[in-house]
A and B are shown apart, each in its own frame.
Chain A
Amino acid sequence: MNNIFKNFLSYPVLVLETSNLDVLINNSFIPYTLITISLILTFIKYQNEYNPFGVFIVNKTINTFSSMMNRRLRSFLSLITTIFTLVLFLNLIGLTPSIFAVTGNLIITTSLGIIVYSTIVMTGIMNIRIKLFFLSFFNVPGIALIIIYPIEFLSSIIKPFSIGIRLAANISAGHIVKHVLLDLMHKFSYIFFIPYALIVVINVFEIINCIMQAYIISILTCTYLSEVIQ
């Protein structure tokens, strides 16, 4: 049971001690280098031609996200494509067995949510000039406002945490189920193929889930932005 959370703790792997400073290389060094290398290799010109995988990703994201945005939202297309590619690559890198899953941590995903929420707040303030927070209701007059206004305010405040928890829980749930089934496989050493079949099925479901979570994050930013820009 101690091995279940090994994928989600970042601990130092290599320590070089000098007289003044210690140089630490963390567990999370490997996925960070992997993602820089993969992002550089997919989106760069090599021998005057673009990588077809990068071309595929960019065309697909721009086509799907620009069809649901009007003219004023087009300026946010770069933010949405970067969030989509970052989350997609980080999720897929975290699927490999003994590599630290970056998006499985609550801290990293809530920071992504805070980035998204701050862009929403700032565009709202720039468009409607601070009236956004105090008038965010649907034309409800009078007494019902006292009940509805706190609910609307809370549902706006909780957005970064909901985005963060959604991504972290989806990624970490798959990993934890795999670790529990592996533990079971170790104990039932004669009928090991029953948990093994389940692990294969869960892996397939997890790959689909990674792509879906990246898509859902970008779709949510689109909808929240379109609510604000009106």
Chain B
Amino acid sequence: MESLKFIGVGLSSIAMLGAAIGIGNIFSSLINGIARNPEAEDKMLKAAFIGAGLTEAMGLFAFLISLLLIFFV
């Protein structure tokens, strides 16, 4: 029954996929915005990094749950 734990860990770490898609979305819109309006590049960079940090945190919540499962349960 200890080996069923690893199946749960593998399933819960699939959630990083959503974080990867979200970050790709954000930076693709950043590149589009820079292409349309190169003068406002600094403001767009700031907003992109804020958004990237927030979405990465969501993926890392799921990663934290998988770490908790594998080591402390």
Contact = CB atoms under 8 A, between A and B. Distances in A.
Given A165-B61, A212-B49, A215-B49, 18 more contacts: A162-B57, A165-B60, A166-B53, A166-B60, A169-B57, A169-B60, A169-B64, A170-B56, A170-B57, A173-B60, A173-B63, A176-B67, A212-B53, A213-B53, A215-B53, A216-B49, A216-B50, A216-B54
Contacts of B60: 165-166, 169-170, 173
Nearest to B61: A165
A169 B67 CA distance: 10
B58 to A, nearest CB: 9
Secondary structure at the A interface, as helix, strand, loop or mixed, is: helix
Interface residues of A, number: 13
Interface string B35-73: 000000000000001101110110011011001000100
Nearest to A1: B71
Contacts of A176: 67
Contacts of A216: 49-50, 53-54
A173 B60 CA distance: 8
Contact of A5 (B49, B52, B64, B71): B71
A219 to B, nearest CB: 5
